[in-house]
């Protein structure tokens, strides 16, 4: 019988801020951007959640729900430090670790029977030790499959542990609504409803061939999971297929001249991350959200594959010139994809390559903000930085 443990740090960003500043403990705390009108809540402490504040909520709305809530600008470098420590601690107990996000991971103990004769007690001990060494509350759930372990964690929060024995897993799964099952979003739930499926028991009764015809292999996988037959395995860390950076602007901008400093900063950040991953991209994209919340995206293929700032900036600027025409811009985002990790032929100019290497070394020692292009230095702190990247932390 396989044995999985799902670990999740409770209210990760908010907890780190409360750990850094003990005076915040026991108080409603929300981590968000620096704009009342544009920012969204990235994380909320459990004290703040009691007032209805949750991640993704606009800051102005959160302030209405809890006027005395303490709002803190995010410190992503600090959170990543704790995240890396979290994963390293998990690898101490098992080689089978799957990273889900900065604060969430699966650990499989199946192959560690000689180390842990009692898996349930081992899972409890690992949670306690990880929590103690991080100084953060960690919840965990355990079961014979990844989906059961993850759902068990949701019932163990906050700061708890729940193990679901194999003979109770089907009953446990039935206690959840369809929308609560990982992998069943609103669209999938709506598709299932059209098939007459509104609950877990309904899903178990349908023909697997029928659900596969409507939802493909994913539908069949869901069907098997609800029968307690989750055959998914631990997925090792993978290199990212794309890297993106984007943020909402403090104020709408209307001209290319206003956009250039932001574009420089985003291209610089993406290219730096791309080099850190050891990859070269073949596709560059620019995404713009206008003041009416409509969006437009443009992409271009690039050869030879690149990892330097100058190539990315040149391509993104050309796309921006064709899109920006005086209409208000609310958000800018830059992405690279089609990333290669094998040696590829390059036509880089040696001086540009040397400059990028020097920049990387300075930032590795003193942090990303230590050195900037002159055009970005004045503008880069004006955005509401909600970075989005497909990068997995452990792939560094």
Active site (catalytic) residues: 104
Does residue 381 sit in helix, strand or coil? coil
Q: What is the 3-state secondary structure (H, E, C) of the chain?
A: CCCEEEEEECCHHHHHHHHHCHHHCCCCEEEECCCCCCCEEEEECHHHHCCCCCCCCEHHHHHHHCCCCEEECCCHHHHHHHHHHHHHHHHHHCCCEEEEECCEEEEECHHHCCCCCCHHHHHHHHHHHHHHHHCCCEEEEEECCHHHHHHHHHHHCCCCEEECCHHHHHHHHHCCCHHHCCCCCHHHHHHHHHCCCCCHHHHHHCCHHHHHHHHHHHHHHHHHHHCCCCCCCCCCCCCCCEEEEEEEEEEEECCHHHHHHHHHHHHHHHHHHHHHHCCEEEEEEEEEEECCCCEEEEEEEEEEEECCHHHHHHHHHHHHHHHCCCCCEEEEEEEEECCECCCCCCCCCHHHHHHHHHHHHHHHHHCHHHCCCHHHHCCCCCCEECCCCCCCHHHC
The residue to which tokens 């292999």 are assigned: 217
Short-list 304, 310, 306, CA closest to 355 = 310
Q: Residue 216 and residue 172: Cα distance in Å, rounded?
A: 26
């Amino acid at each position: 019988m396989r044995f999985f443990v799902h670990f999740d740090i409770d209210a990760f960003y908010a907890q780190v801020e409360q750990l850094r500043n003990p005076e915040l403990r026991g108080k409603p705390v929300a981590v968000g951007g620096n704009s009342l009108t544009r920012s969204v809540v990235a994380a909320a402490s459990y004290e703040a959640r009691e007032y209805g504040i949750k991640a993704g909520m606009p800051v102005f709305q959160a302030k209405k729900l809890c006027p005395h809530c303490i709002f803190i600008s995010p410190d992503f470098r600090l959170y990543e430090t704790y995240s890396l420590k979290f994963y390293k601690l998990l690898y101490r107990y098992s080689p089978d670790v799957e990273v889900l996000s900065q604060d969430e991971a699966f650990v499989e103990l199946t192959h560690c029977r000689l180390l842990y004769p009692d898996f349930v007690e081992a899972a409890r001990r690992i949670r306690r030790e990880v929590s103690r060494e991080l100084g953060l509350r960690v919840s965990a759930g355990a079961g014979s499959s990844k989906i059961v372990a993850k759902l068990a964690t949701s019932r163990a929060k906050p700061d708890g542990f729940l193990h679901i024995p194999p003979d109770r897993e089907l009953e446990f799964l039935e206690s959840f609504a369809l929308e609560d099952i990982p992998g069943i979003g609103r669209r999938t739930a709506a598709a299932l409803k059209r098939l007459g499926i509104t609950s877990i028991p309904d899903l178990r009764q349908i023909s697997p061939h029928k659900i596969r015809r409507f939802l493909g292999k994913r539908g069949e996988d869901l069907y098997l999971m609800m029968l307690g037959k989750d055959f998914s395995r631990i997925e090792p860390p993978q290199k990212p297929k794309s890297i993106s950076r984007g943020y909402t602007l403090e104020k709408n901008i209307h001209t290319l001249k206003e956009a250039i400093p932001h574009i420089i900063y985003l291209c610089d950040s993406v290219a730096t991350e791309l080099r850190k991953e050891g990859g070269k991209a073949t596709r560059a994209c620019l995404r713009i959200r206008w003041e009416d919340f409509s969006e437009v995206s443009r992409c271009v293929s690039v050869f030879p594959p690149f990892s330097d700032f100058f190539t990315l900036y040149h391509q993104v600027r050309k796309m921006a010139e064709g899109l920006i025409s005086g209409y208000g811009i609310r958000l800018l985002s830059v992405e690279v994809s089609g990333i290669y990790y094998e040696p590829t032929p390059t036509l880089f100019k040696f001086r540009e390559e040397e400059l990028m290497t020097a920049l990387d070394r300075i930032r590795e020692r003193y942090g990303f903000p230590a050195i900037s292009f002159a055009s970005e230095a004045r503008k880069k702190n004006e955005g509401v930085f909600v970075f989005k990247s497909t990068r997995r932390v452990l792939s560094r």
